[in-house]
Chain A
Amino acid sequence: MRGAALVLLGITVAACGDGGGALRIDHATPDHGLLVGGTRVVLTGAGFAADGAGPSRVLIAGREAPLALATDDATLEVVIPPGAQPGPAEVLVTNRHGSVAALGVFRYSAPPTITSVSPADVLFSSTSTVVTVTGTGFADEDAGEVRVLVGGQPASEVQVADDTLLTFVAPPGPALARVELQVLDERGTATRPRAFRYVPGLRPGLVAFPAWTGMSALYFDPVDGSVVPFPWAFTGIRLTSLVRDRRGDYWGSDRQGLFGRLDASVPGLERPIQVPGWFSTMVLAEDVYLAIERTSRLLGRFDPQTGAFEPLGSTPIACCGSYGLAYDGKTLYLTSRGAGGVVIQTVDRATGELGPAVPLVATPAVHIEEMRFFRGTLYAWSRDGRFLSIDPTTGATTAIPAPIGRYPAMEVFE
């Protein structure tokens, strides 16, 4: 279609009784223009200047061009007006010879689009990760210089391979943020929300969040036992529990009873809802979200969409202190601290009925705030600042080297 000189519609309206040469539009060069308008296009045809044609006026898609100048009878230079939408636009020329309209000789270029972004995860501290973007509108049709913004920040080393492919080096970003990607060029702006995720580590592991702002969050890699702190700058949020949904998004609950998605590119919890009381621990077990509502000390199901909480039974869990929930794909476990110390026991997910209590073999200071299974091992953060693993059958505990601190919200990262 490009370059085609196809005039689908041509009409002539006599004006002022002038019997001058026939007005005709053959083609436009270039055959496209920016949607914002203001680019120069040359119309080729006839009747633009000779035989007293007079000044020509040009309408493109019904809007008048701010400048139209016949340089000879066959050539009409036009600065195009802004367009309402991309695609073919009718070109209409009027002068003393009459008027002629042509469809198919000119189109407004579409703004760029983004169809895919790879990789899906970028290490938050990396300064060398090359991201590949596929789409359209990166090079052709006067796209001009292409800029890429990641979460509003400029990316470096933008390389446009062709109209459908570009790469850039992602700037460092906040871990666990799913960032917006924008591609800007003369043709317009393409925006892809949640284009990729900044991750605290490149392998699955555990992430834990501190009780207080000002402390770093932690990423634990069980493969090599490394612990990587990563910045966690949310102010005013005191996370008490964390849960990861099937899509890999993290949802947090805070001491004020707010529940919302956790995205480090958004300050605070994203679109939080109020839950009854507050959740000291949460877990996802077979598509059912379970939590312990700390005020009533009841275990129950909750709906992450509405915040509605439905207790399983009416017997409060032993008082007091912190609680942890973990699910290994078959069995739900609960840790609590009663008069006899910290115990771990199974929970019937349907009724909330507790199994036999198995005392943890640990120092008296151990007081579990959250726990999670990761590849068969149960990991837990204790309120005394220690990170440990637990054998849920025997209650045996093993200390794991990690920075000491309170991390009441922990979840599997992958």
Chain B
Amino acid sequence: MIRRALLALTCAAGAACGDSIPHVPPLDAVSGDRLKLQRLRYDDGAEQVDPSGFYDTALHTRCAAGRWTDGALRCLPVADDAVYTDADCTTEVGLTPATELADPTVFIGHDWVDGVRIATRLHRAGDDRAAITEYWERRDGACTGPWPAPEGATTYELAGAITAAELVAFHDGEAGDGRLGLRLRQTDDGLRLAIELRDRELDVACTPTLRSDGVACEPSTVAAATYFDDPGCEQPRVVTAEPAPRPAIARVVDDAGCATYFRIGPEVSPPSYRREAAACVRATVPSGARSFELGAAVELALLGRTVEDAGGRRLQRVILDDAGLRFVGDRLVDTATRAECLPRLIGDELRCVPAATVAALTLYARGCVAPLRVAAVPTRVCGERPAFAIAVTADGTAIHAIGDRVDGPLFAFDGVACAPYVAPPDTAVHALGPALAPETFTRAVAFGAR
């Protein structure tokens, strides 16, 4: 067995030897002159864009994409609240909660319209001033209040309004000439960031997914075909709850755990059936639900995938390509685990943790007095099989390697009763090793130009 495994590993470990990464640099995110990308820098030198926000070097504030009052998509400051100090809603101040860092640069004012809180005003921050104890706000055009000011908040004068034109505007574009288009978020000052892939043939957003058959761009929004047309549960169908619109694409998971996709077929009438354990039973669908047959199978767009070989780094970028479009994927590959990883907070630090993980469970032997560390691991996995489980407890987050399957009865304690544990369908309970030291996984720090 060892020898067979050795031969397999020799080839696998050497896979990178034969890789010939083209010298055309892949399309990557870049900062603008004013608007700067925020990044995670890992201890091994690898970097990854943090797509959740930017830094506006003109306004000196973090900002994120959002619709402003002029209808444009702009980089809206992530700021504390500006509130009115009078019953006529004419004078405003800025409020910074006690827990926030000092020296705010921008405040943002909100109004309530039909129960929704909408950002309507931006102000530069002035000097701090005497604290207010109460404030007013506009609700459906009326000035309402007073409301008690947050305890311990610092109050600031405002130093002039920021107009819409002063906010950086985004204009989305799309790269690529093939079936897949890469949607880009861009600004006039030169910032560029890929935000999603679009399958032009299916007219849906899609997500590159590593599967046993390669990297497929799986539709992001689909209806799960979990019902069946027939009492043998052979022909899947989609049942949507009213008033959901007619879906475009249906998803069916095969016995290997891989998803296949279909166009939505004609609407059909009840009855519908569904699987319950090993049985196929007539399903009770919600009143007003709509049922659809499956149409033609959908061939997904496949992407090429190359793991970079930046010497000396544990974490490597993934380059995806489709018909001449080459771009940097949003995940890294951890060469130590041979799996894709994502930043996750472990303790008080970000670390690149395997993307394919399962949740750790605490179950018990009979009597529920001897806790056991376990995880319910999917028995059908199409992509990367999880090798680690994450435990979130009062003591924090810990990562455990997944061991072998546990035989014998296990019990769950719900705080009141000790009852036999029934694993979810298509999962098996596995033992877990002890908590791994956080340093087992590479640490990241957030950074970005200011």
Whether A200 is near chain B, meaning CB under 8 Å from some CB there, is: no
A18-B17, A82-B431, A152-B366 known; A38-B436 Cβ under 8 A: yes
Chain A CB within 10 Å — which of B16, B336, B338 has the most? B336
Binds A, one of B72-80, B241-249, B398-406: B398-406
Binds B, one of A55-63, A207-215, A324-332, A383-391: A55-63
A269 within 8 Å of B (CB atoms): no
Bound-complex Cα distance A98 to B404 (A): 29
Report the minimal beta-carbon distance from A141 to chain B, rounded to whole angstroms: 12
Contact between chains at B404 and A82 (CB < 8 Å): yes
Identity of the chain B residue whose Cβ is nearest the Cβ of A58 in the assembled complex:
B9
Residues of chain A within 8 A of B403, CB atoms compared = 36-38, 82
**Which of B7, B314, B402, B436 contacts A40 (CB under 8 A)?**
B436
B241 nearest CB across to chain A (Å): 41
CB <8 Å contact, B9 and A36: no
Asked if residues A67 and B5 are in contact (CB atoms below 8 Å), the reply is no
Q: How far is the CA of A347 from the CA of B365 in the complex (A)?
A: 52
Q: Are A99 and B436 in contact (CB under 8 A)?
A: no
The answer to whether A182 and B370 touch across the interface, beta carbons within 8 angstroms, is yes
Provided the pairs A38-B401, A149-B370 are in contact, do residues A101 and B13 lie with their beta carbons within 8 angstroms?
A: no
Pair B2/A39 contact, Cβ less than 8 Å: no
> Are A79 and B436 in touch, CB under 8 angstroms?
yes
Could you say which of A89-97, A245-253, A291-299, A370-378 contacts chain B?
A89-97
Pair B314/A69 contact, Cβ less than 8 Å:
yes
B437 contacts partner chain A, Cβ-Cβ < 8 Å: yes
Query: Are A94 and B6 in contact, with the CB atoms below 8 A?
Result: yes
B433 an interface residue at 8 Å Cβ cutoff? yes
Residues from 270 to 307 in B contacting A, C-beta threshold 8 Å: none
B13-38 vs A, CB cutoff 8 Å, 1 = contact: the mask equals 11011100000000000000000000
User: How many Å from the CB of A54 to the closest CB on chain B?
Assistant: 6
1/0 per residue A78-118: CB within 8 Å of B? 01111000000010101110110100000000000000000
Which of the residues A34, A95, A153, A186 comes within 8 Å of B369, measured between beta carbons?
A153
Q: Is the CB of B367 within 8 A of A59?
A: no
Chain A residues contacting B436 (CB-CB under 8 Å) are 38, 40, 79
| Cβ A54 vs Cβ B9 within 8 A | no
B16, B369, B387: the one within 8 Å of A154 (CB): B369
Complexed CA–CA distance, A182 and B365 (Å): 11
Contact of B9 among A17, A40, A99 (CB under 8 A): A99
Distance in Å: Cβ of A53 to nearest Cβ of chain B: 9
| Set A79, A98, A142, A182: member contacting B10, Cβ < 8 A | A98
Chain A 204-243 residues near chain B, CB threshold 8 A = none
Closest to A71 in B: B314
- Which range contains the number of A residues in contact with the other chain? 35 or more
Taking the closest CB of chain A, its distance from the CB of B3, in whole angstroms, is: 9
CB–CB A66/B401 < 8 A: yes
Q: Contact check, B434 vs A38: say whether CB atoms are below 8 A apart.
A: yes
Identify the closest chain A residue to B437 (Cβ).
Answer: A40
Whether A15 touches B17, Cβ cut-off 8 Å, given contacts A34-B434, A38-B436, is yes
The contact of B336 among A13, A68, A90, A147, by CB within 8 Å, is A68
Residues of chain B from 413 to 438 with CB closer than 8 A to chain A in the complex: 431-434, 436-437
What CA separation (Å) do A99 and B436 show in the bound complex? 27
Choice from A67, A77, A101, A153 contacting B367 with Cβ under 8 Å: A153
Please give, as numbers and ranges, the residues of chain B lying within 8 Å of A59 by CB-CB distance. Answer: 2, 5-6, 9
- Output the nearest chain A residue to B435 by Cβ-Cβ distance: A38
With CB as the reference atom, state the residue of chain A lying closest to B442: A69
Whether B432 lies near A36 (C-beta < 8 A) is yes
Question: Do residues A92 and B5 form an inter-chain contact, with CB atoms below 8 A?
Answer: yes
B339 — nearest CB in chain A belongs to which residue?
A66
Q: Which residues of A contact B432 (CB under 8 A)?
A: 36, 38
Q: Is the CB of A62 within 8 A of B17?
A: no
Residue of A nearest to B372 (CB): A184
Knowing A38-B432, A62-B2 are in contact, say whether A149-B437 is a contact too (CB < 8 A). no
Query: Is there contact, CB below 8 Å, between A54 and B366?
Result: no
A193 at the interface (CB under 8 A from B): no
User: Which residues of chain A come closer than 8 Å to B365, judged between CB atoms?
Assistant: 149, 152
Asked if A94 contacts B434 (CB within 8 A), the reply is no
Which residues of A lie under 8 Å from residue B370 when comparing CB positions?
A: 147, 149, 152, 154, 182, 184
Check A339 for interface membership: any CB of B closer than 8 A: no
Say if the beta carbon of B440 comes within 8 Å of chain A. yes
Pairwise interchain contact B6-A13, C-beta atoms closer than 8 A: yes
Contact at A79–B401, with CB atoms within 8 Å? yes
Chain B residue at smallest Cβ distance from A35? B403
Contact B10 A15 (CB under 8 A): yes
Q: Does B133 contact A (CB under 8 A)?
A: no
Q: Is the CB of A66 within 8 A of B366?
A: no
Contact yes or no, B14 A16, CB < 8 A: yes
Across-interface contacts of A40 in B (CB, < 8 A): 436-437, 440
Query: Chain A CB within 10 Å — which of B13, B16, B369 has the most?
Result: B13
Complex CA gap A13/B431 in Å reads 34
In the complex, A344 Cα to B402 Cα: how many Å? Answer: 70
A92 close to B14 (CB less than 8 A): no
Assess whether A3 is interfacial by the CB under 8 Å rule. no
A36, A39, A77, A99: most-surrounded residue (chain B CB, <10 A): A36
Q: A38-B400, A82-B403 are in contact. Are A16 and B17 (CB under 8 A)?
A: yes
Q: Verify if A355 is at the interface (C-beta below 8 Å from B).
A: no
Neighbouring B residues of A77 by C-beta, 8 Å: 336, 440
29 inter-chain pairs at a CB distance below 8 angstroms, sorted by A residue, are: A13-B6, A15-B11, A15-B17, A16-B18, A36-B432, A38-B432, A38-B433, A55-B13, A55-B336, A55-B338, A56-B13, A57-B9, A57-B13, A62-B1, A64-B5, A64-B9, A67-B337, A67-B401, A68-B336, A80-B433, A92-B2, A92-B9, A94-B6, A95-B13, A96-B16, A99-B10, A149-B370, A153-B369, A154-B370
Closest 8 CB pairs of A and B: A38-B433, A38-B401, A16-B17, A69-B336, A66-B387, A152-B367, A82-B403, A55-B335
